[in-house]
Every structure is written in C-alpha cells, then in structure tokens.
Structure 1
C-alpha cells in the first residue's frame, strides 16, 4: 500500500525553481549567481571594434566606416591580431586569419546590424567591409 505525504507550498516552489535552473545551461549553483551576465564590448554605431583577447579584453582597435575603403582588405597593425569583435558598421564584414585577406586560411562574414562576437574561432589579422 502506498501512502503520500503532503508537500508544503514553499518546498514545492523551491523544487520547481531548482528544476528550472537545471534546464538552463550555466544557471545552476552559486557560482553563476556571482558571475552575472557577460559584458559586451563598447563600440559606437558606425564602427568595427576588434579586441586582442577574448571577451572584449586587451587592446582595442577601432575602425570608422567613414574612413574605410569598402571592398578592400584592411590589415590589423603588424604583429597584432584580434580574438573578439563588434560590428556596428551597418555593413557585412569578413574577418580573415590571413593578414592579406586570403581565403586559404579561415574567414567568416558577420552582418552589420550589430554583432558582438566574444571569441573568434581563429586569430583575426585582417578584414573587409562590404557593400550592403
């Protein structure tokens, strides 16, 4: 014979909250509560911003759409690379592993309507801004 014990409302709500947290990746446990949401890199409208380190850290290189040659390869300063980027140019931007914008290495195009990429899958050494 099976008997059931009544569950207190506060116990039930705590169990529901714990189960819901387990369904959302990265939200369970006290470590997440202290971490807070990720911070996006500051980058103004009309700019392409590239950071030397992931998560929008390290040296930032900022390029204004008004000063860039559209459809032309722009290399980052010699000896530097980027691992995070924000595209707020309003135009598609392709980033390249190659400093010459060669497609023999890795490359990826990001739309210009506001993209925040905290970690590129490769070292970005050059980019091209495209017509819409």
Structure 2
C-alpha cells in the first residue's frame, strides 16, 4: 500500500524516474576549453580528441584535418561561428554546416574533413 501511495505522489509531482541506461555520457565542459574547436573521430565524443585554439587558426581560412579519418563529433567554443565541411578543401559542393559558438554536436550528419572559423 505504501508503494502505491509513493507511486501516486511521484506521478502527481510530474517527476518520472529516468532509466540509467538512457543517459549517454558526453564530454565534460573542460574537455573543450574556451577558445577551442574540438573534434573527435567517433560519434558521442569518443576517440582521441583533436583541439585547435582560436589563437592558432587563421580566420576565414580552410583548415584540413590531418589523415583520412576526419571527425564524427565536435564542439565549438571559439566565441565565433565555425563551418564544418565534408570536403577536405572546404568546397561547398559537398555537405557543410555552420555552428554557433557554444554548440556541441555528438553526431554529425557526415564525416568532417575540414573547417573554417569566421568573424563574429
């Protein structure tokens, strides 16, 4: 009877129990510092993280990722918009999307092979 009453209180409060398995751990904020673009080779921020500091990136210049693996997830903490490209040459004939600063993308629609940082 007590369990039934507890269920009614929980249901009435609008709080529903969250299944533990449903939560997918993401990166901690410190894993991509302010002023950085961070890219991971696998979705959900897995694999060896590659970081690029804003102070080391030329604004508006295409920066190709090394190797052929590219990135499946990424974070933009530069304070500026960042465009990610499927093309290693930043060609707009393949897929590309611009992400605002503060965005975290756990699974991109395509493998990112290059990016550009823009003025605000």
Instruction: Count matched residues.
Output: 115
Answering whether residue 120 of structure 2 is matched by residue 125 of structure 1, we say no
Q: 1 CA distance for matches of 2:100 and 2:65?
A: 20
Q: Offset at 1:59?
A: 2.0
Contact 1:46 1:64 (8 Å CA) reproduced: yes
Q: 2 CA distance for matches of 1:107 and 1:44?
A: 24
Q: 2 CA distance for matches of 1:34 and 1:101?
A: 38
Shift in alpha-carbon separation, 1:105–1:9, aligned structure 2, 3 A? same
Contact 1:40 1:116 (8 Å CA) reproduced: no
Q: What TM-score, normalized to structure 2?
A: 0.84
- Once the two structures are superposed, residues 10-69 of structure 1 have per-residue CA deviations (whole angstroms, 9 ceiling, x without a partner) of 35225x26x8539xxxx4xxxx22454632251011000000000110121110100101
Where in structure 2 are there 5+ consecutive unaligned residues?
Answer: none
Q: What TM-score, normalized to structure 1?
A: 0.77
Moved over 3 A (4+): 8-11, 19-22, 34-37
What is the aligned counterpart of 1:101 among 90, 93, 116? 90
The structure that has the greater radius of gyration is 1
Query: C-alpha root-mean-square deviation of aligned residues, in Å?
Result: 2.3
What is the aligned counterpart of 1:13 among 9, 13, 16? 9
